[in-house]
Each structure stands twice: as structure tokens, then as C-alpha cells.
Amino acid sequence: MPESSNQHGVGGFGGGGEGGEGGGSELTINAAPPVADHCPVLSEDGEDLKVRRAFEELAHAKRGLKQRHIQMIALAGTIGTGLFLATGKALANGGPLGLVLSYGIVGMLMCAVVLSVAELSALVPLSGGIVRHAKWFVDPALSFAQGWNSTYANAILLPAEMVACAVIIDYWSHVNHAVWITVLGGLLIFSNVLLISVYGELEFVLAMVKIALIIGVNVMSICITAGAGPRGESIGFRFWRTPGPFVQYAGIPGSWGRFVGFWRVLVSAAYAFSNVENISVAGAETQNPRRNIPRAARRVFWRIMVFYLVTVFCIGLIVSSSDPALTAHTGDAGASPFAIAATNAGIKAVPSIINAVVVTSAWSAANSAMLVGTRTLYGLALEGHAPRFFKRTNRFGTPWLSVTAVGSLMVLGYLTLSSAASVVFEWMQALVSAASFVHWINIEIVYLRFYYGCKAQGISRDELPWKGPFQPYAAWAALVSFTVLLITGGFFVFIDGHWSVQGFVSSYFNIPLILVLYFGYKHWRKTKLVSLYDMPIRGFLDVAYRNPEPVELPAKGWARLNILWA
């Protein structure tokens, strides 16, 4: 992926030692008096007072997230049940080629989102990420709507992953699901009220476990394909020939049926990629964010594309899309395509191993969702879009009331404690997918407004701390594509014999939600669209130039291997 960076070496707000892993330095920003929103009031030295006021929060933040942490947080939040379990149903709906194409297309579109987020966050590295950016570059109403949409999406994701954990554990023990939801949920809250560095280390370790599993199952897949399993049967591309590269979805004949199956997988793939953009949500708690957030964006791109595309390709080699186990709704590791392949090949121990790692993966994904949800709520409070008490932090600099509020929504998991828990998980998956589409659309709207704001003010992107490649074309492609996917997300319920109220609501509930939030707040507070000429971009650049990040020393010796995980 092309690497694009600032030519002037503009820095930011954290100190750093070798490799950007050092501690933070203080921000040289003075307190600013209250001023009206979006009016570029400049001090005598030309610095935007509103910008200076916004960055005062950095005095209370603990910069405990290092480069390796934010990269693994993005990776850990993405690699979960969406890859290890949901791909089985996706294979049954779209076939092996449909699966690879769908995940590849959504992955490429997500790259555009990550590039946009990184460019914005390198300039404005504040907690809350896009929620804060929307206020400066679009409209406070969009900041309000997007913030609560993101909080809602992660609130849904938390109980979904907790239920997934409980159902997966049921593979070994038939203890009441409420016990596991309570225990794992308590651990989740505990890990999020500690120092952010503790959270970062925990996610780093769990991400390494996930990576080890991905490597292991892919090696196993190659061995099974080549006939190295206990039964010695070589598979090759057998399942690509029979039943074929695509699936006739819902019995629809011809090429239309195959396209519908492919499109169904394309829509559902959003769940697997949700939260990959969260590299910026804890910007105020990241060391050297102007350097580390863009670097994380570049490396996360390659890791996700390699991990996802290689993995889904291997899935299509080792399991037939017509295998009834893919749609058995067991909910545990038995529904994992890797476990199905291992069972078919006579490898008995693999399902239990996969189960163990899938549990940690689901919990880790929930942990990442907790970070995104709490920091978004914290950002809303800072902008006056949520009750002020959510701004309170503990002695570790963690917004503990935001953690408590978001964590309390895990009680929704108790509503799914029934034999249909895996079906309810699918509904939640659809809700998260729709919310993700809305989130990504808003990110690109904010980025494009920022991009054209730079043009209107005569600011070259070469002046920015970091500029992403392929812009604005990548942003436009993602905006249009995700809008189409959002509108067509629930198409399957309109197929004869497939109508479902739950399916329709879970696919389209988010559209009226975001519109009500946006226009309701706009009417209530009488907000206006920020003019391209009034965006305080120059003020943010002034802050960046006045607070350079330390020069990164080149890695030496074994430290060069850091590129594998940092």
C-alpha cells in the first residue's frame, strides 16, 4: 500500500523514545476563553482559540497506547466471531468464490475508510475520533447523531459477543448462559476501568493468540487440501467445481440466483469488518498519534487483507458450500468451517482448540467494542452531546462512568438466553452491519468535507501531518458503495417466502434512527452546516507545528522484527 506522509515532519502531542514507544510530553497549549461554536476566533499569534480549548482535554488523558497497541486493537476488534463462525453461513450463501469476492471488496472499501480516519486523526487526535471531527468539519448535528449511532452499535455488539461466548462455551459445559455472560462481562468492565496501557497490553496478547490461530488453521487447511490429513484424501479445488464457485441463493435459478447469493454475503461481510476503523477513537490516549495512527492504518490494511482473504480462500477449499453443518445453527465451534473441515478429515482435537480461541476472540472483540463505545460516549460528553458526568475520569485517566454506562447494556444478553440464541445473534449481526454502514458513510462525508475545506482555504494536503493516498477517489468510492449496501441490506426479506419482520427491522432500523437523531438535534439546537471557509483547519495545523513529536530513531538489530507485530 503506498505510503504517504508529510514532507515537513509536522508532529503532535506525545513524547516518545526509540521506535515511538516512549512516554508522552506536555502539550504547549494555553487555556482559551469560551467562544461560539465554529467561529474562527484567532488570538494575536493567529491560533484558533476554539482549537486550543478543544485540546485542553489532553492534560487529563494518559497516553498509554503505543504503536503496537493501537494496531493490535484494530486487528483484535476485527478478528472475532465474524471470521471464525460467520464465514460458515457466508460460504453457504455465496459459495467459495462469492465468499472471497465479497470479503475482498468490503476489505478494499474499508481501506478507504481507514485512510480517511488516519488523515483526520493525524491532524486532530482527540478522544471520540470521528464524533469530534464531524463537529468541526460538517455540523454539530452530525456529531451528535454519529456519536449516538456509534454508541448504539457497540452497545449491540457487546451483548452479541457475550452471548456468542456463552453459546460457544456450551460446547464443553452446559452451565446456564447467564453465568458466563455475568463473569465475562464483569471481566470486560474491569479491564476497561484500569490504565489504558493495561487494556492495550491485554488486547495485544489476545490479538497475538488470534493471529496464531489464523496461521494454524490456514496451515491445517493447506494440509487437508493436499491430503496430509489422517484420512490421506486430497481435496484440491474439488468444492470449487462441485457444487461450484457460487450458490443458487434461495433456489433462484440462473445467474440472478448466483448474484443474489454473492450480494447477501457482501452485505453480511460488514459485520466481520466492523470496528477496524477504531485506531483513532482513543487518539488522546495514544503516544505520538500523528505518527502512530497513520502507521497503524497502513499496516492494519495489509494484515487484514492478508488474514481475511487468505483465510476465506482456505475456507472455500476445505468445506463444501452445500455441507449441512454450515447452517445447523449450533452456535459453537461445531459451526466453524475449520471445525467442520477438521471433523470431515478425521482430526478430532481441532474443534476444542478452535472453541478455546474463538471464545477469547469473541471476548476480545467485545473488549474492543467497549473501548469504542466508551470513548465515543466520552467524546459526546466533551462536546455537550451527552450528560456532563460522562466526562469524569478516575485516577488512571479512564472515563469510568462511560465504561459503567456502556457496560451495563450487556444485560441485553440475558434476553437471548434461549434455544434460539444463535438466531438472535444473527439479528444482532444484521443490526451491527447496518450501523457499521451508517458509521462508514458518515466518516467519508466528514472526510470529503474536510478535503474540500482544505481546497477552499488554499491549504495544500502536503502541509498536513499525514495525507492518505488515492484521495478523494477512495472516499467517494466507499461513500457510494456503502450507501448502496445500506439501502439493499435487507433485500432478502422481499424474496417470496423469506419475509421476516425481525430481518426487515434489523436491516433497516438504523436508517430512520440516524435521520431522527440528525434532524431532531438540528431542529432542537438550530445548528448550521459549517462553511468550507470557516473550518478551523489552519488552527489545527498551528497546534501541530507548535507541538512537534520527537524524531523516531531507526530500529536496530532484532528490533527490526517489530514490523511483524508493531
Lowest mean pLDDT among 297-306, 341-350, 394-403, 418-427: 418-427
Look up the domain containing 519 and give its range.
Answer: 63-529
The SS3 of residue 562 is helix
Amino acid at 540: F
Please give the DSSP secondary-structure letter assigned to residue 187.
H
In a domain, 36, yes or no: no
Provide the β-strand partners of residue 65. Answer: 286
**C-alpha to C-alpha distance for 193 and 365, rounded to whole angstroms:** 17
270-294 CB burial, b ≥16 within 10 A, e <16: bbbbbbbbbbbbbbbbbbbbbbbbb
Phi, psi of 127 (to 5 degrees): -60, 140
Q: How far apart are CA 338 and CA 318, in angstroms?
A: 8
Average pLDDT of the residues in 337-362:
81
d(CA 78, CA 68): 16
Residue 318 belongs to a domain: yes
| pLDDT tens, residue by residue, 283-302 | 445 567 777 778 777 777 77
Residue 67 falls inside a structural domain: yes
Long-range contacts for 455-464 (Cβ within 8 Å, ≥24 apart)? 455/532, 456/532, 456/533, 457/532, 457/533, 457/535, 457/537, 457/538, 459/537, 459/538, 459/541, 462/6, 462/7, 462/8, 463/6, 463/8, 463/10, 463/541, 464/6, 464/10, 464/119, 464/122, 464/123, 464/541
Q: Is 42 helix (H, G, I), strand (E, B) or coil?
A: strand
Q: Are 87 and 323 in contact (CB under 8 A)?
A: no
pLDDT reading at 16 higher than 70: no
For 175, phi and psi rounded to 5 degrees? -70, 150
Decide: 167 and 177 in contact? Cβ < 8 Å: yes
* 560 assigned to some structural domain: no
CATH number at residue 163: 1.20.1740.10
Question: pLDDT digit string (tens) for 137-155?
Answer: 999 999 999 989 988 888 8
Q: What is the pLDDT of residue 286?
A: 59
CA distance 29 to 398: 22
CA distance 199 to 368: 9
CA atoms within 13 A on the CB side of 162: 33
Using the predicted structure, report yes or no on whether residue 467 has a pLDDT greater than 80.
Answer: yes
Percent of the chain with pLDDT over 90: 21
- 396 or 514: whose pLDDT is higher? 514
State mean pLDDT over 171-190. 81
Average confidence (pLDDT) over 23-47: 41
The pLDDT value given to residue 513: 94
Measured between alpha carbons, how far apart are the two ends of the chain, in Å? Answer: 17
pLDDT for res 65: 57
Q: In total, how many domains does the chain have?
A: 1
Q: What values do phi and psi take at 395, rounded to 5?
A: -70, -15
* For the ranges 2-6, 138-142, 190-194, 490-494, the one whose mean pLDDT is highest: 138-142
Torsion angle of the four alpha carbons 273, 275, 278, 282, in this order, in degrees rounded to the nearest 10: -160
How far is it, in rounded angstroms, from Cα 150 to Cα 131? 9
- Of the ranges 95-104, 162-171, 272-281, 557-566, which is most confident? 95-104
Whose grid coordinates read 486487528? 75
Whether 556 maps to a domain, the answer reads no
**CA distances for 299 relative to 128, 141, 294, 483, angstroms:** 22, 33, 9, 27
pTM of the predicted model over 0.95: no
- Residue 547 covered by a domain: no
Residues in CB range of 20: below 8 A, 6 or more apart: 66, 67, 287, 288, 291, 292, 552
pLDDT at position 445 over 90: yes
Q: How far is CA 376 from CA 52, 352, 402, in A?
A: 21, 36, 9
Range scoring the smallest mean pLDDT among 18-22, 50-54, 191-195 = 18-22
- Please state the φ and ψ torsions of residue 320, each to the nearest 5 degrees: -75, 140
More confident residue, 488 or 397: 488
Look at residue 58 and tell me if it is in a domain: no
Question: What are 281's three cell numbers?
Answer: 477513537
Residues paired with residue 282 on neighbouring β-strands, in sequence order = 127
In a domain, 558, yes or no: no
Distance of CA 356 to the CA centre of its chain: 23
| Cβ neighbour number for residue 384 with a 10 Å cutoff | 15
What DSSP letter does each residue of 161-183 carry, written as one string?
Answer: HHHHHHHHHTTT----HHHHHHH
Question: Which residue would you say has higher pLDDT here, 392 or 106?
Answer: 106
pLDDT at 443 over 50: yes
185 CB-near residues (< 8 Å, 6+ apart):
158, 162, 407, 410, 413
